[in-house]
Amino acid sequence: MKKHNFSAGPCILPQQVMQKASEAVIELDGIGLSLIEISHRSKEFVSIIENARALALELLGLQDKGYSALFLQGGASMQFLHVAYNLLETKAGYINTGTWSLKSIKEARLFGEVVEVASSQEQNFNHIPKNYTVPGDLDFLHVTSNNTIYGTQIKDFPEVNVPLVCDMSSDIFSRQLDFSKFDLIYAGAQKNMGPAGTTLVVIKDEILGKVSRKIPSMLNYQVHIAKDSMFNTPPVFAVYVSMLTLQWLKDLGGIAAIEEVNEKKANLIYSEIDLNPLFHGIANKEDRSIMNATFNLTDDTLKETFDTMCKDAGISGLNGHRSVGGYRASMYNALPLESVGVLVDIMSELERKA
């Protein structure tokens, strides 16, 4: 039985994507070779990565707007360093909304002054900071759109006169935004786009080349742009699966179509959390993520019963992060609405039994 996969990442992917990817590992499109044994310089793979890059820009509405799309390695964690190396000359601003913000701030401080413009750390990151002022002398402002661990999500992005950088690792392609507001977006593939192993970086070309330091080739965005994301051997399988997932999303109707489904999933589980006296939400209501619903039991003595019910129903990956505890239902694009329904039914059943 296929389980209901609520894992925070690596996470669920569309079944047709998994099927086609598994076939390609044996043989890619009838060429007599496996996807993972062809040259990354072959016409077959060059076509794959070009298509993946084009699909990313198309879905974000950024084609022909001066942006480049890259598939790089090292995960979003490498981008914490990468961003600062390429953009931080004197001073950068960061909105601190969780663990990943803290990690990115740590890396940026290696290159210059970092201003923590706003933070929700004192409340264990259970909300998104508001009513803050962004200094006008920053090299860039960095935000994290969705906080997987704490279940919060930025609904309104700041209007700024400096380059806006966003870590969208856990909610990219999940909701409609004016993506042209962002000068640089990065996202690890393994939450909403593909398997672990590659990171999508979308950059407005004009913000590059303005720092005085010399940048090593592997960390230089301009080098990767000039080489069409092929400066070194790319993660062939991860890029291929990301391409398939992006095509799946396009065929569904793009971000607008998947946003409708994502909102239905989020509304279903949050309604149960709010109405069921046995559960309470962890994140502030106005900042709740549509990707990661964090919640806990009001009575810990019910934990063993609830966990057993979830296991028997084939629910996987529901445990909360160790820094928060409780439960976390990650509802990425490929998670069916039916899976959320199964979880909600169990929560309701627990209330009837209690």
Give catalytic residue positions.
100, 167, 191
Judge whether 96 and 118 are in contact, CB under 8 Å: yes
φ, ψ of residue 25 to 5 degrees: the values are -65, -35
Distance CA 320, CA 114 (A): 30
CB 192 within 8 A of CB 332: yes
**Around 302, how many Cα atoms within 13 Å sit in the side-chain half-sphere?**
19
DSSP string, 238-296: HHHHHHHHHHHHHHHTHHHHHHHHHHHHHHHHHHHHHH-TTEEESS-GGGB-SSEEEEE
| Greatest extent of the chain over all pairs of C-alpha atoms, in Å | 66
**Minimal CA–CA distance to 346: which of 321, 322, 327?**
327
Separation of CA 44 from chain center: 28
> Can you state the percent helix, strand and coil of the chain, rounding each to 5?
40, 15, 40
Cβ-proximal residues to 140 (8 Å cutoff; 6+ apart), any chain: 83, 87, 88, 92, 93, 162, 163, 164, 165, 183, 184, 207
**Rg of the chain taking only CA atoms, in angstroms:** 21
